[in-house]
A and B are shown apart, each in its own frame.
Chain A
């Protein structure tokens, strides 16, 4: 049931961004996202600034989760080089962008990960790392919690559910137990404890073709169960909608849920969520330095458009902070219900 390699390793058609786009754009008759967005009366979707550099440092991962939009896995070789990281740092230094959100794959598996984190810290920016938790127990990575604490890194980790069954179904056998052990280690250093200033946020995403529940209510459930049953703590829970791309798209199609899932996203279009989609304040940088509006567009290989510079080496803050966003039908995933972003619900 759980994969051991990416779709790419098996040469599956859906590993290809073009094939995914073809399906998203043409497989069911939904109103075009652009038109729906413009119905809220603010013209086309446009960035309002850049508050976050989201840097995807590679597709290599120690896990192969069933819903992964990146199609990450142990077989993936796309990795950001130190030279490209240097370009990111140079671009960052020219701006007052306060946050750098490092993602992957398992970003920690990039050999230059630690160097990059400390260089960003030297520039006085806040660092967030999307850690999958299990990597913190892997050989050669056991001292990462100390490294995170020493650099004041905010850790954001997927834990799709507070029960082992649901988490393991999506992320692999034994992932829940190892995740709890990793949280314990982070807690031990002060992570997730109110007074320490070390932030550990968890991420819920539905284990299937349905939308996430109310974020605040679910956070209370997570806190109660994780504390009572496992004695572990965290700061906030973010609920994230599964985007119809990558391996989740594969699942949707194989399970016969694709059309109804898309229709549901469209029927729950929420103008308040649409006004706050994360691409309005985020710039996403790919492993090879290519610029995207978000990590989802990155996986669909939809580069920034409308005349904005497409590579970090041509970084132009003034142009990028007001760029028009490239949208396709998957964008409905960000605007349904309470909305979804890398920081959870948005409306």
Chain B
């Protein structure tokens, strides 16, 4: 079956640099530094990444950061809570725009 997403493509990420190596190198050096332990631990960063991956619905990132969260010592419970946070923000972000809807509604209604 042909699909747009193939799990094996994740490993080919670096090949995207073929069109412009300089920019890709800059991206990876920044990216790697982002995920190094700092004020947040590597595990916290992996869990944030996992949550964001769900918010942006990127299957590559979900694959990579599920593995990474496990390898940073996260439990299934922590990973599940992280994606609930992403889901709550997504849901909340939709709902809070209801205020815009109400503003427009009030302006248009008699």
Q: Please report A residues at the B interface, Cβ cutoff 8 Å.
A: 161, 163, 165-166, 206, 208, 210-214, 217-218, 221, 263
A210 touches B70 (CB 8 A): yes
| B71 in the interface (beta carbon within 8 A) | yes
B70 near A208 (CB under 8 angstroms)? Answer: yes
Can you identify 13 A-B contacts, CB atoms within 8 angstroms? A165-B76, A166-B75, A206-B70, A206-B71, A210-B67, A210-B71, A212-B71, A213-B71, A213-B72, A214-B73, A217-B43, A218-B73, A221-B73
CB–CB B73/A163 < 8 A = no
| Interface membership of B41, Cβ < 8 A | yes
- Complex contacts, A208 vs chain B, CB 8 Å: 70
Q: How far is the CA of A161 from the CA of B76 in the complex (A)?
A: 12
Encode B7-32 as 1/0 by CB contact (under 8 A) with A.
Answer: 00001000000000000000000000
Among all A-B residue pairs, the 4 with the closest Cβ atoms: A213-B73, A210-B70, A218-B73, A211-B71
> Could you tell me the dominant secondary structure of chain B's interface residues?
helix
In the complex the two chains form, what is the Cα distance from A166 to B70 in whole Å? Answer: 12
How far is it, in angstroms, between the C-alpha of A339 and the C-alpha of B68 when the chains are bound?
17
Other CB < 8 Å A-B pairs besides A163-B75, A208-B70, A210-B67, 16 of them? A161-B75, A166-B75, A206-B71, A210-B70, A210-B71, A211-B71, A212-B71, A213-B43, A213-B72, A214-B42, A214-B72, A214-B73, A217-B41, A217-B42, A217-B43, A263-B11
Give the chain B neighbours of A210 by CB distance below 8 A: 67, 70-71
By beta carbon, the residue of chain B nearest A211 is B71
| B67 contact set on A, CB distance < 8 A | 210
Instruction: Name the residue in B70, B73, B75 with the highest tally of chain A Cβ atoms < 10 Å from its Cβ.
Output: B73
A212 to B68: give the CA distance in the assembly, Å: 10
CA distance A36 to B71 in the complex (A): 24
Q: Report B101 CB to chain A, min CB distance, Å.
A: 43
Within the complex, what minimum Cβ distance (angstroms) separates B49 from chain A? 15
User: In whole angstroms, how far apart are the Cα atoms of A214 and B77 in the complex?
Assistant: 19
CB nearest neighbor in B for A337: B71
| Shortest distance from the beta carbon of A164 to any chain B beta carbon, whole Å | 11
A-chain residues with CB within 8 Å of residue B76 when the two chains form the complex: 165
- CB neighbours (8 Å) of B43 from chain A are 213, 217
Instruction: Provide the bound-state CA to CA distance between A211 and B72, in Å.
Output: 9
Within the complex, the shortest CB–CB distance from A177 to chain B, in Å, comes to 18
| Bound-state Cα–Cα, A213 to B75, Å | 12
What residue in chain B is nearest A208 (Cβ atoms)? B70
Expressed in whole angstroms, the minimum distance between the Cβ of A170 and any Cβ of chain B is 14
CB-CB < 8 A to B70: which residues of A?
206, 208, 210
The CA of A165 and the CA of B11, in the complex, are separated in Å by 32
CA A78 to CA B7, docked complex, whole Å: 43
Of residues 54 through 110 on chain B, the ones whose CB sits less than 8 Å from some CB of chain A are 67, 70-73, 75-77
CA of A218 to CA of B42 in the docked complex: distance in angstroms? Answer: 12
B41: A residues at CB distance < 8 A: 217
State in angstroms the CA–CA spacing of A212 and B43 once bound together.
Answer: 12
For residue A163, which residues in chain B have a CB less than 8 angstroms away from its CB? Answer: 75, 77
Which chain A positions have C-beta within 8 A of B42? Answer: 214, 217
Q: How far is the CB of B16 from chain A (nearest CB, A)?
A: 18
How far is the CB of B40 from the nearest CB of chain A, in Å? 13
Considering only CB atoms, which chain A residue lies closest to B7 in the complex?
A260
Provide the bound-state CA to CA distance between A64 and B73, in Å: 24
Complex: A233 Cα to B70 Cα, angstroms: 24
Q: Which chain A positions have C-beta within 8 A of B71? A: 206, 210-213
Bound CA–CA A163/B72 (angstroms): 16
Closest Cβ of chain B: how far from A236's Cβ, in Å? 16
CB distance from A266 to the nearest CB of B (A): 12
| A213–B70 alpha-carbon span in the complex (Å) | 8
Which residue of B is nearest A162, CB measured?
Answer: B75
For residue A191, give the distance in angstroms from its CB to the closest CB of chain B. Answer: 25
Once the chains bind, are A217 and B75 in contact (CB under 8 Å)?
Answer: no
Q: Tell me, in angstroms, the Cα distance from A206 to B11 when the chains sit together.
A: 22
CB distance from B73 to the nearest CB of A (A): 3
Residues on B with C-beta less than 8 A from A213 are: 43, 71-73
CB-CB nearest in chain B for A264:
B67
Q: Compute how far the CA of A211 lies from the CA of B71 in the bound complex, rounded to whole angstroms.
A: 5
